[in-house]
Amino acid sequence: MNTLKLRSQLENFFIEDIGEQDITTDLIFADETNGEIVFLAKDEGIFCGEEVIKSGFKLLNNDINVEVLVKDGDRIEYGQQLALVSGKIADLLKGERVVLNLIQRMSGIATLTNKAVITLNSDFTKICDTRKTTPGLRMFEKYAVRCGGGFNHRFGLYDGVMIKDNHISFAGSIERAVAAVRKQAGHMVKVEVEVETEEQVVEAVNAGADVIMFDNRTPDEIKELIKLVPAGIITEASGGIQLSNLADYGDTGVHYISLGFLTHSYKALDISVKVKWNKGEE
């Protein structure tokens, strides 16, 4: 993740949560008493969020000591200690929920992605995400997909051309849409076209598409359509693909399978924060 962007987003998350002050914490812990908290896994899965823990607490107080005991992408077990954080109690309490919210969600996505990769079980076809992410959390969610063994599709509308059905309808044809892009875009910009029929595949190929995405097609349909695509053009399958039928798409020959559910239908991994010691009680 981009360090500057991570820090900026974490600052905004803390401002949203803390506001003017943490009334509860500031009234109880007005002194400089120190303590330590531990992050504990309450489920098994793939961990993600190492830098969130490190950067998050340091933003609140650079004197806080953070020791993350696992690496991003590591498989974790129930009851496992994930991180130890010590410092001023007030800062620990102010930071724990924002940090916990993020790493639970990131670990949930990484775990689901890893399950999809294992389910597909392919040395050729790769799992990737989509733009169906939570507004404001795209950087975190797409990073989590990578930690789970998946790959990233485009990050936004700005870093890749993807001509979808509505673009084609408004433009009048695939040929017109691709031509308009080719006339203005630089040579570093790849062009992906969404197709559903044999006619659209042929048109996309002839128009010079770099990537062809088979949208909402069955595995058998893709096996036939992909025969029309010359070597050198990247292929992708998307739409209507779930864990239950994912393995069926592994034999279609596509390079990528993009899955929206990785970032819009995941279950956050259960992680908790507990007090490990309190200097005030020693």
Q: Which residues contact 229 (CB under 8 A, 6 or more apart)?
A: 201, 205, 212, 235
Q: What is the DSSP letter of 260?
A: T
**97, 131, 182, 190: which is the annotated catalytic residue?**
97
Beta pairing, strands 234-238 & 211-215: parallel
Per the annotation, the verdict on 164 as an active-site residue is: yes
Contact call for residues 151 and 126 (beta carbons, < 8 A): yes
**7, 131, 132, 223: which is the annotated catalytic residue?**
132
Contact call for residues 115 and 51 (beta carbons, < 8 A): no
CA proximity to 253, closest of 278, 224, 216: 224
Per the annotation, the verdict on 97 as an active-site residue is: yes
Q: How far apart are CA 255 and CA 125, in angstroms?
A: 5
Lookup result for tokens 């029309």: 228
Lookup result for tokens 């490990």: 276
Q: Which residues contact 203 (CB under 8 A, 6 or more apart)?
A: 173, 174, 175
CA proximity to 13, closest of 130, 142, 92, 100: 100
**194, 203, 217, 236: which is the annotated catalytic residue?**
194
Give the DSSP H or E segment for 80.
none
Per the annotation, the verdict on 175 as an active-site residue is: no
- The gap from C-alpha 157 to its chain's centroid, in whole angstroms, comes to 16
Q: How far apart are CA 219 and CA 72, in angstroms?
A: 33
Per the annotation, the verdict on 42 as an active-site residue is: no
Q: How far apart are CA 215 and CA 204, in angstroms?
A: 13
**43, 96, 215, 221: which is the annotated catalytic residue?**
215
For residue 60, count other CB atoms closer than 10 A to its CB: 22
**164, 227, 274, 279: which is the annotated catalytic residue?**
164
Q: Which residues are catalytic?
A: 97, 132, 164, 194, 215
